[in-house]
Structure 1
Amino acid sequence: MTDSSSNKLSLWALTALVVGSMIGAGIFSLPATFGRATGGGGAIIAWLIAGSGMLMLAFVFQTLAQRKPDLDSGVFIYAKAGFGNYLGFISALGFWAGTCIGNVSYFILIKSTLGAFFPVFGDGNTLPAIALSSIILWGFHILLLKGVKGAAAINTIATCAKIIPIFCFVIILIFAFKSDMFMLNFWGAPEVAALANGVDISHLNDYGYVGHAALAIEPVVEPESLWSQVRSTMLVTVFVFLGIEGASIYSRYAKKREHVGIATVLGFLGVLCLLILVTMLSYGVMLRPDLAALRQPSMAGVLEAIVGRWGAIFISVGLLISVLGAYLSWSLLAAEVLFSAAKSKSMPKVFATENSKAVPAAAVWLTNIAIQLFLIMTMFSDYAFQLALELTSSLTLIPYLLVAAYGLKLAYTKESYDNDPGSRTKDLIIAAIATFYALLMIYSGGLKYLLLSAVVYGPGTIFYIIAKREQNEKLFTNIEKTIFAVLITAAIAAIYGIITGSITI
């Protein structure tokens, strides 16, 4: 891609890339996703953990943009600079694969949204749904090949458009919010909370927008420990924050280098406020079992319960704009990472080729072919959206961990701090918290998603082998051989688990 001044992005365009990348499918699924996992108390704890951890990661991105201005393309290049060629490749591959699967989740949610009005699309993984998704996929493919600047401009417009229904949702829920409803939902089991406090919950139907699931003899949600509830939300919170690295990925397009860090933090804080409001306000208008019973996109179900059918239509239109805009952002990010990795000789050189519009065409082609294959695979999954959401988070956590660890390494070794020793302690603490947070999220995701991630990392190493042979260089160091062996072993275990049924998809 060209670096000409006509292709430079302003602070607000960079911020829009961050917001556009982060606000996609996730925010529209929060009411039901959190409703199935936890109550208001657990949600507060989850957002405190996720918000604090991701804010520290945003600060790490900001610090690295200032201290390593020569390193472009963010996620991938930081891992390579800090931990060598193979882990740099793993970071690029993981981020790229995560964006591909994330885009699949967008298509699933689009079709699930349409499925509420056109049953032929079901929950987004029927044959007609896959066919329509494929048409949209290759339509966007043509758009992407026409150039990043035009696509970024479209993303800015889409970002503005999709914020409107989300703001309307928040405002309506503020007026509909009931404090006693919220308190019944606070500890996760409204029936238990009501009985413990001697509260009769039958009158809650008088509000006019509460369903019947909460009053059923068999509750939808089983009581569980608070930590178990919080842990169930962890990969979800990671998913809705994906895209925080958007400005860093496009750092070489920034008009001013300092805009990269500012855009990252501004975008993060704005999106965090929206995520918290959408989640917490929902607990004040519907009982948790009713939230849990909603189909996705659950924001539509919440608003429909309050204002009627037009609310579901309004949110559904906003979701379609949001998801299509976010899909464009993520496709740009995926192609840019492949292109940058190839330019750094960590991917086959074919992915560094550009077309007449200065677009990495081979990278765009591979990205969309991969998305098409993942789309076809969703037809064989019982819980396609949840699987795509959590696998995307798991794949992307490894690159995030390596970025945080690189920030920690710089501060620990004092590299780049000769002229600014005073900020080292602060940066060391921030990077340590970000690293711990990434490790905690990986642990919370569980062994299943680590093994499934290895199915991508292990066999995907073929790209690294091709790149090294193109350069006539040694494949692995001794440590890298061990890492590769672990990944291949985990991939084999995952495939065996899928075949035997011990790992369900």
Structure 2
Amino acid sequence: MTEPSPQKFALPTLSAMVVGSMVGAGIFSLPQTFGRVTGGLGAIIAWGIAGGGMLMLAFVFQTLSRRKPELDAGVYAYAKAGFGNYLGFLSALGYWTVCCLGNVSYWVLIKSTLGALFPVLGDGNTVTAVAISSVGVWVVHFLILRGVREAAFINTVVTVAKIIPILIFLVFVGFGFKADIFAVNFHGGPGLESEGLFAQVRGTMLVTVFVFVGIEGASVYSRYARKRSDVGLATLLGFLGVLCLLVLVTMLSYGVMLRPDLAELRNPSMAGVLAALVGPWGAVFISLGLIVSVLGAYLSWSLLAAEVLYSAAKMESMPAFLAAENRNKVPFAALWLTNSLIQLFLILTLFAEQAFLLALKLTSSMILLPYFLVAAYALKLALSGETYGREPKGRNVDLTRAGLATLYAAGLIYAGGLKFLLLSLVIYAPGTVLFVIAQRERGHRVFAPAEALLFAVAAGGAVLAFYGLATGRISV
């Protein structure tokens, strides 16, 4: 009996995957997250840098999907192929943590949205909010264990719920835009007089990374493309479409409310901006769209988080038990570990004054290593000439793009600051126990000399982070 051929995706479907992966909770909070740190000029520069850097990264994913089609286990497969077992593991661990933190941000944002009606939920980080979110985590957990892996109807609803409210928001703020308010906000206005332009732009960098997470959507599914060339075009089209939405939501909001007022909005801040123009129904409309969107996205990202561990275990970067499946073909061990980490992060939000902002910035910080290693691998291929024997003309173009993408990712690590770098090491260093288990159960040497040095640095950074948290020098 022959197996059915895998479904092949056309260009529109691949483009929708990119848009669906990138448009999540972050865009609904852009007016407040940008308003806290910068004015219109800083926002323009920030989106210019982020747009250019992420465009180069999109080209990198396009190049690697064409030149290394056999590496289809996830973005962390590039890190392992290019830089060895331990960095491949760290990339997988970082990407998995991003999925978990992203899901935490979803719950926080849902409860913050409902907190406008039910004050007991606060900003999504009260005991009641965390308790309700925890129930939701485990309800979805047991639903997935029963074999709920694909839901076309849910995906359709989610897509509509994401895009329609955003487009309606843009129509209203476009008509309500006031040039005099935008002019006051252009250089930052009251409260940012002492902040230089560089500091304002730097303060937005982790926010811009958060809203671009998912740019690898088409590349992840490249093996299902009807035409390999569609992968790059879908990535480019999806990226440019989302970039336009992000820029418009940010910049038009500066023409509706003064920046200090934007900074004080509760999330989702798009609701507050629309309510300022049309009244309370605007906030309700945006909030309902966000809740449906985020709940649907949560299901997808929960599956993705478990798949990350499952795929990494299959490629021997994680312990073998994480590749175990139940009778419904669900990677149950990976799912249990995933939701246990989400539960831990939810509990930790009780101690964070700005829980959503913390989840956003830590998510952005954790994704930087996987993205940096992807760009560096593409740069390594171009420098060495591997896979370019038959296409020498494309090598210089790919070298330039990969070099710029690597520089951008490295710059983001700097822009994120020491605090979030150390906090990421709190996850990377203890998480290495999974790598040790994976290596020993397969009879491999745990660390090569360079890897041992890298682990020592990570462990030292984690110790500093724990000390900073204990003494109050690092606050969350």
Report TM bin, short chain: over 0.9
The equivalent of 1:66 in structure 2 is 66
Of 256, 267, 280, which residue of structure 2 is paired with 1:296? Answer: 267
8 Å CA contact 1:20–1:156 kept in 2: the answer is: no
Q: Deviations over 1:65-91 (max 9, x none)?
A: 011011103311001001011000000
Q: Deviations over 1:319-372 (max 9, x none)?
A: 112222322332232222211110110100111122333332222221111101
Report matched runs for 1:31-430 at 5 Å.
31-147=31-147, 150-151=150-151, 154-189=154-189, 219-254=190-225, 256-430=227-401
Q: Deviations over 1:113-159 (max 9, x none)?
A: 00011111101011111121122222322343355751466334312
Of 404, 410, 417, which residue of structure 2 is paired with 1:439? Answer: 410
8 Å CA contact 2:69–2:223 kept in 1: the answer is: no
8 Å CA contact 2:138–2:339 kept in 1: the answer is: yes
Cα distance change on mapping 1:374 and 1:98 into 2, 3 Å: same
8 Å CA contact 1:23–1:322 kept in 2: the answer is: no
Helix, strand or coil at the partner of 1:357: coil
The equivalent of 1:454 in structure 2 is 425
Question: Identity of aligned pairs, percent?
Answer: 65
Quick one: distance in 2 between partners of 1:258 and 1:153?
Answer: 29
Structure 1: runs of 5+ lacking an equivalent: 190-218
Quick one: distance in 2 between partners of 1:126 and 1:365?
Answer: 24
RMSD, aligned CA: 1.8
- The one-letter code matched in structure 2 to 1:37 is V
Structure 2: runs of 5+ lacking an equivalent: none
Helix, strand or coil at the partner of 2:387: coil
Q: Deviations over 1:26-64 (max 9, x none)?
A: 101100111111111110000000011011101100110
Superposition deviation, residue 221 in structure 1: 4.6
Q: Does 1:483 align with 2:454?
A: yes
Q: Which moved more, 1:406-415 or 1:358-367?
A: 358-367
Quick one: distance in 2 between partners of 1:370 and 1:121?
Answer: 22
- The one-letter code matched in structure 2 to 1:124 is G
8 Å CA contact 1:11–1:259 kept in 2: the answer is: yes
8 Å CA contact 2:161–2:290 kept in 1: the answer is: no
Superposition deviation, residue 101 in structure 1: 1.0
8 Å CA contact 1:39–1:187 kept in 2: the answer is: yes
8 Å CA contact 2:158–2:296 kept in 1: the answer is: yes
- The one-letter code matched in structure 1 to 2:276 is A
TM-score by length of 1: 0.90
Superposition deviation, residue 390 in structure 1: 0.4
- The one-letter code matched in structure 2 to 1:182 is F
8 Å CA contact 1:339–1:351 kept in 2: the answer is: yes
- The one-letter code matched in structure 1 to 2:106 is Y
Helix, strand or coil at the partner of 1:37: coil
Cα distance change on mapping 1:259 and 1:335 into 2, 3 Å: farther
8 Å CA contact 1:249–1:333 kept in 2: the answer is: no
Helix, strand or coil at the partner of 2:326: coil
The equivalent of 1:496 in structure 2 is 467
- The one-letter code matched in structure 1 to 2:380 is K
Superposition deviation, residue 7 in structure 1: 5.9
Quick one: distance in 2 between partners of 1:388 and 1:406?
Answer: 28
Cα distance change on mapping 1:333 and 1:257 into 2, 3 Å: farther
Quick one: distance in 1 between partners of 2:304 and 2:425?
Answer: 22
Superposition deviation, residue 452 in structure 1: 0.5
Helix, strand or coil at the partner of 1:136: helix
Superposition deviation, residue 267 in structure 1: 2.0
Cα distance change on mapping 1:259 and 1:147 into 2, 3 Å: farther
8 Å CA contact 1:39–1:288 kept in 2: the answer is: yes
TM-score by length of 2: 0.96
- The one-letter code matched in structure 1 to 2:67 is R
Quick one: distance in 2 between partners of 1:243 and 1:257?
Answer: 19
Superposition deviation, residue 220 in structure 1: 4.9
Helix, strand or coil at the partner of 1:403: helix
Quick one: distance in 2 between partners of 1:394 and 1:362?
Answer: 26
Quick one: distance in 1 between partners of 2:240 and 2:146?
Answer: 32
Quick one: distance in 2 between partners of 1:271 and 1:223?
Answer: 33
Give the length in aligned residue pairs: 474
Superposition deviation, residue 488 in structure 1: 0.5
Quick one: distance in 2 between partners of 1:92 and 1:273?
Answer: 30
8 Å CA contact 1:174–1:281 kept in 2: the answer is: yes
Cα distance change on mapping 1:7 and 1:469 into 2, 3 Å: farther
